[in-house]
Chains A and B, each alone.
Chain A
Amino acid sequence: DVKVTQSSRYLVKRTGEKVFLECVQDMDHENMFWYRQDPGLGLRLIYFSYDVKMKEKGDIPEGYSVSREKKERFSLILESASTNQTSMYLCASSMGQGGPEAFFGQGTRLTVV
């Protein structure tokens, strides 16, 4: 079974903290994605990566950065957490070519206080 694992289910952080959300996939997928999910807004793409050390901005990259040093791991970084970054964060991965399916992790619910 394909597995996409996010390091935490729930996180509570203080305003101004640097926050790391980690995601690991075990299927040797080229593509990895970070989305945030907010009620009534669906999933919005923050960043994606199509190869190691490669990254592309999604629709809402402001306030976030990412790191992909190894193929299986994609990290989302909140440089200075703010309350408007309280959300559900979903990581996903997919094959580079041919396969249409994206596999999702279980999500990390981040609360910034």
Chain B
Amino acid sequence: GEDVEQSLFLSVREGDSSVINCTYTDSSSTYLYWYKQEPGAGLQLLTYIFSNMDMKQDQRLTVLLNKKDKHLSLRIADTQTGDSAIYFCAEGSSYKLIFGSGTRLLVRP
């Protein structure tokens, strides 16, 4: 069945780059997504990539998609303390999303 896997925790120093990785199983997914959840809040869409793209850049965020390996990554440049949150990878279409377990990013001053 469908499955999305992520590591649970990442710690980086302020100003460094963060890279959060994700693997998925459903090769028919239309889109792949990154959501951010701050403490006490719901999920907020950060960015998404269409499945026929390899890369998408949006300001400090870079998404890389390797369809062959079913691997998705999110790179945050110049990570700030405000980036501390849980980041969820998800696959699917607008009809249904399958989420990973989330990666907790801790940014140290």
- Please tell me if the beta carbons of A106 and B41 are within 8 angstroms of each other in the complex: yes
Closest to A104 in B: B42
Describe A's contact surface by its main secondary structure.
Answer: strand
**Contact between chains at B48 and A100 (CB < 8 Å):** yes
Q: Per-residue 0/1 for B1-17: is the Cβ within 8 Å of any A Cβ (1 yes, 0 no)?
A: 00010101000000000
Determine the distance from Cα of A57 to Cα of B49 in the docked complex, in whole angstroms. Answer: 27
Count of A residues near B, CB < 8 Å? 28
Q: Is the CB of A102 within 8 A of B97?
A: yes
20 new A-B pairs (CB below 8 Å) besides A92-B43, A95-B94?
A: A31-B94, A31-B95, A33-B96, A35-B99, A40-B101, A41-B101, A42-B88, A42-B100, A43-B43, A43-B88, A43-B99, A44-B99, A45-B96, A48-B96, A90-B42, A94-B94, A94-B95, A100-B30, A100-B94, A101-B45
| Distance A95 CA – B100 CA, assembled complex (angstroms) | 22
B44 at the interface (CB under 8 A from A): yes
22 pairs from A and B in contact (CB 8 Å cutoff): A31-B95, A33-B96, A33-B97, A40-B8, A42-B99, A42-B101, A42-B102, A43-B43, A45-B98, A50-B95, A94-B94, A98-B94, A100-B48, A100-B93, A100-B94, A101-B45, A101-B94, A104-B35, A106-B40, A106-B41, A106-B42, A107-B41
A111 to B74 alpha-carbon distance, docked (Å): 34
Question: Which of B8, B43, B101, B102 contacts A104 (CB under 8 A)?
Answer: B43
**Interface residue? B33 (CB, 8 A):** yes
Residue among A40, A42, A101, A107 facing the most chain B CB atoms (10 A cut-off): A42
Say yes or no: B33 contacts A100, CB within 8 Å: yes
A50 to chain B, nearest CB (A): 7
A5-43 CB contacts (< 8 Å) to partner B: 31, 33, 35, 40-43
A96 CB–B CB distance under 8 Å? yes
